[in-house]
Amino acid sequence: MNSLARLAPYVLPHRTRFLQACCAMLGVALLNGLSVWLLKPAVDYVFISKETATLKLLVAAIPLAFFLKMVIQYTQSYLMSWLGQRITQRIREDLFRHMHELSMDFFWKRKSGEILSRLTNDLNNLASGLQFVPLYLIRDSLTVVVLLFVMFYIYWQFALIAIIAIPLAGGVLTVLGKKLRSASRQSQEIMGEIYHRFQESLQGMLVVKAFNYESGAIQKFNRENDLFFEQMMRYFRATALSGPLMEFLGSLLLACIVYQAGWAIFRNRMTPGDFFTFLGSFFAAYQPIKNLSQLNATLQMALSASDRIFSILEEKPTVRENPKPVLFRSLRQGITLENVSFRYPERDTWALRNVDLHIRPGEIVGVAGPSGSGKTTLVHLLLRLFDPTEGRILLDGTDLREFGLSSVREHVGMVTQDTVLFNDTVYGNVGLSKPGASTREIRQALEVADALSFVEQMPLAGETQLGERGTRLSGGQRQRLAIARAVIKEPPILILDEATSNLDSASEKGVQQALERLYKGRTVILIAHRLSTLQNADRIAVFHRGELVETGRHSALVQKGGVYATLFKFQQLGAGDGASAPGAPAAEGETAADGRLSS
């Protein structure tokens, strides 16, 4: 009932069409009864009494009845298909919209393959249920009622015997329904894992092949595929049992009726036409009852899919929009972190701990530290992808949570190390951060990012499709497009998280010079493992194990001899970019480069 109640808002707007479909189903049920009723005059008046007029009437009535039935059946099927697809379309739209409203912790905790399974496999099961369950449930139930009426009219004593089948069928369906729903729910959960394995291998095929991991990936997939097979066989065993079991129960009732009807005819209490009409009604009711018993499987799968779909729709974002949001216009006083601490969902360790930091308007602040020290987490909090577990972040003295999410983010340009491009054109990917941007503006942004030259060499230049995740480009080319995407917004706040890490030395120098021209008049947060890119920053904030341990200019921090100086000296030796040096403090849970635990 809870699942049906959740579906009600999607069904009610289309109640007129649903009522039209119900009327068509009633028409089919009545015509089914009429078709059986024609057996009585055919036997009594044609085959026994040999009445010519009745024969002619039946010859005209039979094709007319079946022609009307054909038209009405088409109408009911079309209307229910339309309703099923329209309702599923709305649910799909709501799911997609709701996923974009959820906070990042939802995606942090769930596998993308599991989410895709609910958006595809579960929605297909729900669509099938919406299309066929009401169609067969209402039409076949009405058909059974009409045929029972015919049987009662012919010989009510035998009809009472036939009614015994209804509670028996209900008991069978109840027992099997529980097994069907349990097996269906578990199989759908396993299907989520199977989707995840497919997606994992597709996205990581380079690593799979490079490390000869094909057999390991296949073994994991086969284990989950075997589990899915076992659950589906539980489901199909219950489905396969329902039909034959209903047939056996029906055969017992039929044997009883035939025996009683034979004696009734012998005693002239029933005509042969009555008997064949009654028997025809009984057999005609068999198929709808069988459909209803098998429909239970579709119903249970649809209800299970509905539970999984609505569990996503009922998820609430943890980062919530303020009911009366403040509009963020520009940065005048700066960004302030007051005793900010943060821990990612379902993790025990702190990503940031007791961070106090003030960034002045127009200041270029570098952020450095070993891997896992909290640098990227700082970006997540500034964009309000997460809210601090403790403390607060202020923009011009106002808590970040008071502002509208979109009003803050539209003033921030960001480039990350992991570049995400969509299956769209070059212009589409660059211009998505500024809807309505002209081709001239996009080309200027590409030029600033040192990307225009390679874009113009593409087959269709800026109209070239980039493929899924931009796989047709090199890592450096993808990153330059991401820089262009941030540049076109002309944002007052610019966040660069390893923005040039995938560029070669020549490209990095050109892009770095272009970016530095953009720094003027903007507040820049520059995160880098490659410390040479931070040397011209107004100030560098150094993080270690989630804590802010040092701040100052490059030269002062090198002379201080702390974490930053150790990292810088290690890079000067050419041992790596941003790794922990021998003896230098390492991120929590990490070891130093020479294998010794850092102190």
Q: Give me the CATH topology for the region 2-313.
A: ABC transporter transmembrane region fold (1.20.1560)
346 Cβ neighbours under 8 A, 6+ residues apart: 109
Distance CA 104, CA 51 (A): 80
d(CA 288, CA 295): 10
What pLDDT sits at residue 164? 65
Q: What is the DSSP letter of 591?
A: -
Range among 191-195, 530-534, 549-553 rated most confident: 549-553
Place of tokens 């097996």: 183
* 425 DSSP 8-state letter: B
Euclidean distance between CA atoms 350 and 547, whole angstroms:
9
Sign of CA dihedral 78, 80, 85, 87: positive
pLDDT of residue 448: 81
Q: What is d(CA 352, CA 341) in angstroms, rounded to the nearest whole number?
A: 5
pLDDT for 135-149, tens place per residue?
Answer: 888 888 888 888 878
Contacts of residue 199, defined as CB under 8 A and 6 or more positions apart, other chains included, come to: 112, 113, 116
Backbone angles phi, psi at 81, to 5 degrees: -65, -45
User: Per-residue b/e over 153-183, b at no fewer than 16 CB within 10 Å?
Assistant: ebbeebbebbeebeeebeebbeebbebbbbb
Q: Say whether pLDDT at 597 is over 60.
A: no
- State the chain's maximal CA–CA distance in angstroms: 120
Report which secondary-structure segment, H or E, holds 417.
none
Residues in the chain: 599
DSSP state of 465: B
Q: Between 599 and 211, where is the model more confident?
A: 211
Cβ 485 vs Cβ 479: under 8 Å:
no
CA 401 – CA 387 distance, rounded (Å):
8
Contact 550, 560 (CB under 8 A): yes
- Which structure tokens are listed for 48? 């026994």
Q: Which of 57-61, 72-76, 418-422, 580-584 has the lowest mean pLDDT?
A: 580-584
Phi/psi region, residue 50 (left: phi>0; alpha: psi -120 to 50; beta: rest), is: left
Q: Which two tokens stand for residue 57?
A: 């009437």
Burial class for 242, CB neighbours closer than 10 Å (0-12, 13-18, 19+) = buried
With cut-offs at 50, 70 and 90, classify the pLDDT of residue 584. Answer: very low
Task: Give me the chain's average pLDDT, please.
Answer: 78
Token digits for 325? 């949001």
247: confidence class by pLDDT, cuts 50, 70, 90: low
103: CB partners within 8 A, 6+ apart: 317, 318, 319, 385, 386
Using the predicted structure, report yes or no on whether residue 595 has a pLDDT greater than 60.
no
Q: What percentage of the chain has pLDDT greater than the value 70?
A: 77
User: Where is pLDDT greater, at 20 or 245?
Assistant: 20
Could you give the 3-state DSSP secondary structure of residue 585?
coil
Tens of pLDDT, residue by residue over 456-511, are: 888 888 888 877 667 677 777 888 888 888 888 888 888 888 777 666 676 677 66
Which of 165, 189, 147 lies closest to 246, judged by CA?
A: 165
The residue ranking higher by pLDDT, 260 or 105, is 105
**At CA 500, angle to CA 494 and CA 506, rounded to 5?**
130
Q: Where are the domains of the chain?
A: 2-313, 334-411+529-591
Measured CA to CA, the distance from residue 164 to residue 145 in angstroms comes to: 14
Of the listed ranges 158-167, 254-263, 446-455, 504-513, the least confidently predicted one is: 158-167
Order across the sheet with 390-395: list the strands. 352-359, 335-342, 390-395, 398-399
Question: What's the CATH fold of domain 334-411+529-591?
Answer: Rossmann fold (3.40.50)
CB atoms within 10 A of CB 542: 26
Q: What is the pLDDT of residues 53-73, one digit of tens each?
A: 877 887 888 888 888 888 998
